[in-house]
Amino acid sequence: MALVPRPHFNWQLRTRTLALGERTRIMAIVNLTPDSFSGDGLASGGADAGITAAIAAIDGGADIVDLGAESTRPGAEPLDAFEEQDRLLPVVEGVLRQRPRAILSVDTYHAQTALAVALAGADIVNDVSGLLWDESMAEAIESTQCGLVLTHTRGRSQDWRSQPALAPGEVVPLVLEGLREQLLFAQAAGVAGQSIVVDPGFGFGKLGSENFILLAGLEHLHELGYPLLAGLSRKGFLGEAVRSLQTETLSLADARLTATVAANVAAVLQGAHILRVHDLQPAREAALIADALLAQGTG
């Protein structure tokens, strides 16, 4: 896997522009859910727990904090937009009262929620459906001028475990074609190209080793001409890869930590601009080393 030069972009957000490419940006995950797959859901602690976690991430060096109120683990119960906003809005408002310059992203596929969080001060909408699950989402992005993380997904979470496997040669072309179609849809709805970052959707309808094929071929996504976000943190395929090395003293999340660090380094060396992570400090350190290597190998 060769080192891949990382193109530079200016990502247009709702209230500002974020330079991408000179160094890896870190998006810290704050899950306001009761059933996160990684065991870090904060719903039981209410808004205060979410605010505290988000501020800790900001003060700890995160470039972006991504707030999510609905789990995307296979079999998770869907949340309607009103329940989602009940969890999200107090946290968005509370964080921005204390850290008014913070860049907040909200992980949602509901257009009503996107409108509400933008009004509350969020700058980015992270839509794991890639505008596919709510026909009004593209219009919401266009009207709010939020930055958009456009994710490739293959079906919905309840379908992932039963989907037929892909042949190795199908994985990257399928993701590329899907993202091209989603980008055309976004553009037709008036979403500005400079506001979009693409996410290949590791684990979102990709099974096991298909994710390693996608990671090894991440450089091909530069053909799209957009910045890349890699969301590899604590994903199930990493856990499966290291399962034989796990011990009884390690939790599932802890067992995936080192595997996540390795995957994040690989993503940066393939040209990822943003890492979406649960474990902030290990990700920052990994990105720093990967960036240094990338600078020497492609300079």
Task: List all residues 6 or more positions away from 251 whose beta carbon is below 8 Å from its beta carbon.
Answer: 39
Residues serving a catalytic function are 235, 276
**In this predicted structure, what is the pLDDT of residue 152?**
97
**In this predicted structure, what is the pLDDT of residue 38?**
45
Q: State yes or no: pLDDT of 39 exceeds 50.
A: no
The secondary structure of 26-46, three-state, reads EEEEEECCCCCCCCCCCHHHH
Would you kindly state where each structural domain of the chain is located, as residue ranges? Answer: 9-298
CA–CA dist 3, 197 (Å, integer)? 21
Of 39-53, 73-87, 252-266, least confident by mean pLDDT is 39-53
Nearest to residue 266, comparing CAs of 243, 232, 223, 235?
Answer: 232
| Region 66-76 average pLDDT | 77
**CATH code reported for the domain at 9-298:** 3.20.20.20
- For the chain, the residue count is 299
Q: State yes or no: pLDDT of 36 exceeds 70.
A: no
Q: State yes or no: pLDDT of 215 exceeds 90.
A: yes
| Crossing angle of helices 137-144 and 111-120, rounded to 10° | 20
**In this predicted structure, what is the pLDDT of residue 35?**
54
What's the pLDDT tens digit per position in 161-206? Answer: 878 889 999 999 999 999 999 999 999 999 999 999 999 999 999 9
- pTM of the model as a whole: 0.93
CA–CA dist 187, 189 (Å, integer)? 5
Give the percent of the chain with pLDDT over 70.
91
Asked if 25 and 292 count as a contact pair (C-beta separation under 8 A), the reply is no
